Structure 1
Amino acid sequence: MGKIILVTGGARSGKSTFAEKYVAKYGHKIGYIATAQICDDEMEFRVKLHQGRRPSTWDTFESPFDAHEIIKAQAGTHDMFLFDCMTIYISNILSQIENIDEFDRIYDLITGKIYKLIDAIKASPATVVIVTNEVGAGIVPESKLARIYRDLSGLANQLLAEASAEVFLVVAGLPVNLRKLRENI
């Protein structure tokens, strides 16, 4: 049975670097599920940073929309995956929506994708480290789309955390194991 490790934190908190070190330490045959789509110079720069840190022995799978299919197809050949990142994955899906006023449909679409991913991981023999952002700690966004994105990202993080064996919060490059912290309360 597969296992989920969730790594969350703010922008530039060090969560991807921590996740990369985690899979390098515990994985043998590693797959990297890249969700980013290069749409401008900034994203191209970010992708190159991530690519430059990855060992050439890791297999990269680009999956901006259907990552559960990668897990289903590749889990027998990889013992560990790094999924980077959930909030970009959600953004990709939202960017395909024509009418943001259909919140029920959007909610069902996003939660459906999350549940498919969780189910695929649980059915696989692999461990999947999922990187995500904490986007709801700031002010309430002015735009409707930004509020929908924030709400669905927070919901996705809750669903993933509930299904995860371990949950790490990374702040200033320092990981805190939230499950262990919760046990001590």
Structure 2
Amino acid sequence: MTEAVLTADRILEAAEQVLRRFGPAKTTVVDVARALNVSHGSIYRHFPSKAALRDAVAQRWLHRVSAPLQAIAAQQAPAPARLKKWFDALIAIKRRKVLDDPELFATYHRIAEQAGDVVDAHVHELVTQLTQIIEDGVREGSFVVADPRASAAAVFQATLRFHHPVHAGEWLKPGIDEDFATLWQLLMSGLMKRP
């Protein structure tokens, strides 16, 4: 590859491949440059540091989670159904990542642990999507909550066991889906308008 056609996306693609091969502890900017057949200085023109490259990789990975969820949040459907669909999708995305490539999932989890600001922005984005759904539910009369943002954060936090990577070891245990169904009924009871 010539340095003239080097883009941030190409660098991120190469970084993902190198991370898959060597893991986050052993991956260097030089390794990424070598994979692209460019100088490491070329990488630094796009990403000023290894940490910036790591954060961009984490952001790209987390965007693959948040983008399909944003599409659900923006749908024109009753809020309770959309909220359930959103969480079902989040849980399915996370489980699929663990099952399809557990080593890569572990690698990205380690990267995300080091990219605190990126993860905080990701969680903020997810809670904002949930807030949008809950606000819609309040407008349509399905939900009765005083503070949609606080309610969205509470629902997100209450469900962490089912989608946060630290709990990935529990996701395939028998009864996990039943546990989520029980929690979901409780959460909906707290959000729903009572007759």
- Bin for the TM-score computed over the shorter chain: 0.3 to 0.5
More strand by share: 1
More helix by share: 2
- What is the TM-score when the length of structure 1 is the normalising length? 0.33
Higher-Rg structure is 2
- What is the TM-score when the length of structure 2 is the normalising length? 0.32
Q: Which has the higher contact order (CA 8 A, sep 6+)?
A: 1
